[in-house]
A and B are shown apart, each in its own frame.
Chain A
Amino acid sequence: MATAGTEGLIAIGAGLAVGLAGLGSGLAEKDIGAAAVGAITENPSLFGRAMIFTVLPETIVIFGLVIAIMAIFVM
Chain B
Amino acid sequence: METPRLERSWLDWTADPSGTSAAPHLQAFRVLILLHLCVQAWAWALRPLDHPYTFPPLAIHGCAVALTLAAAVASFGSERWGRMACLASLPIVAFELAWVFPATANHHYLSLLILGLCGLFDLRREGEDQLLLQGLRWVAVIVFFWAGAQKALHGLYFRGEFLSWAVAVGGERWAALFGWLLPGAELTRLQELPQNVGSGPWRAAGLVVPLVSNAVWVGEIVLAVGMLVVRIRVVAVLLALGLVYAIQLAPREFMFALLYTNLLLLFLPGEPNRRLLPVFALAYALLVGAVAGVPGLEGLVKQAGL
Are A and B part of the same complex?
Answer: no
B interface list, Cβ under 8 A from A: none
